[in-house]
Amino acid sequence: MDKKTDAMEKKYIEMFLDRMTAERNASSHTVRAYAADLRQFFQFLRGIRIWGEDSENKDFSAIDQGLVRLFMGSLHKRGLSPVTMERKLSTLRAFFRFLNQVDVIRQNPAKSVSSPSKPKTTPDFLTPDEVTALVESPNGSDAKSLRDKAILELFYATGARVSELASLSVEDIDFDRKVITIHGKGGKDRVTPFGSRAEKALRAHLAIQGGEGSDKLGVPVFTNRSAKRLSVRSIYSVVRDRAGKVGIDRPVAPHKLRHTFATHMLDGGANLRDIQEMMGHSSLSTTQKYTHVGLRRLMRVYDAAHPRASLKNEKSDNISEG
């Protein structure tokens, strides 16, 4: 590998990641994703001999829109999802925008590259019967059952992300007001209420766990057998395994419980702005996807109840009149 090109690449990637951390307050997980995406892009350029030792191109200005499109095409051939491709393109846009801001390049080659088309989907969610069976499935009095029940109740009570639940500390819980402080994306905290069932499950869990030992985030609410903070992967396993045991016939991950929370809140009459705040969405348009789910439910109710909603009801009226 060309040492000069390698050093330059490393220097500006590190500068970019530092800026994302300092100015955008990006999480360590996001920073690692940025770094991985950029490594993959430059490795691709090396593979086609456009960058590095086997190339005549020794600076970033040689990277144009066509090369970015070529990279995106290679991702498509590998079968990556549109969501993943969009994330990688977003990383490139941000990186080249940074290079433009520090006067390394004159134009952002990723700016005008079209995002991959994403299928229009509405969020998947559990029915009230399914979620009731799920959250009530840990019915033992042992430490694991009490912990799992508290996890499931809190997911459904707050709509928290799995990373947010994993980072939850005892200090974040206010039992008097029945609210928790959730440390969300980009360092944005929000205060979210929880109900009596979640409170009962949390109190029972903490009474057994003891709330002892702390890390840089505080005293963990959820821990493993080694009394260490429960990882995101372990929480995923709790949700998946408990869903399988109650016979839910499709994959259930923590994010599905988040969708379920939002959908059931909307169905129950909650204001869209309130749901946005509780879920920590930066844009209302993100929350609005749940209105499509609610609209389908309303249409079913309308079709079933309104006398003139369908031809079937009209035929029934004609028969009764005859």
Q: What is the pLDDT of residue 104?
A: 92
Q: Which of 147, 149, 161, 259 is catalytic?
A: 161
Residues 132 and 258 sit within 8 Å (Cβ to Cβ): no
Catalytic pick among 88, 205, 259, 281: 281
93 assigned to active site: no
Q: Whole-model pTM above 0.85? A: no
pLDDT at 297: 54
pLDDT reported for residue 122: 55
258 is catalytic: yes
Intervals of the chain under pLDDT 50: 1, 313-322
Q: Are 11 and 98 in contact (CB under 8 A)?
A: no
Marked catalytic residue, from 69, 97, 185, 289: 185
Whether 281 sits among the annotated catalytic residues: the reply is yes
Tell the CATH topology of 128-303.
Answer: hpI Integrase; Chain A (1.10.443)
Residue 302: predicted pLDDT? 56
* Residue 3 falls in the annotated catalytic set: no
Which residues of the chain are in CATH 1.10.443.10 domains?
A: 128-303
Provide CATH 1.10.150 ranges for the chain.
3-101
Answer yes or no: 203 catalytic: no
Q: Please choose, from the candidates 194, 196, 200, the residue with its C-alpha nearest in 3D space to the C-alpha of residue 261.
A: 194
Count CB-CB contacts under 10 A for residue 244.
13
pLDDT for position 277: 80
Tokens of 222: 């959820």
CA distance 276 to 281: 5
Catalytic residue among 87, 197, 240, 255: 255
Instruction: Judge whether 161 counts as a catalytic residue.
Output: yes
pLDDT at 313: 47
Q: Supply the pLDDT for residue 28.
A: 84
Write out the CATH class of domain 3-101.
mainly alpha
Say which of 46, 205, 242, 258 is annotated catalytic. 258
User: What pLDDT is attached to residue 187?
Assistant: 78
Output the pLDDT for position 317. 43
Residues 248 and 95: their CA atoms lie apart, in Å, by: 43
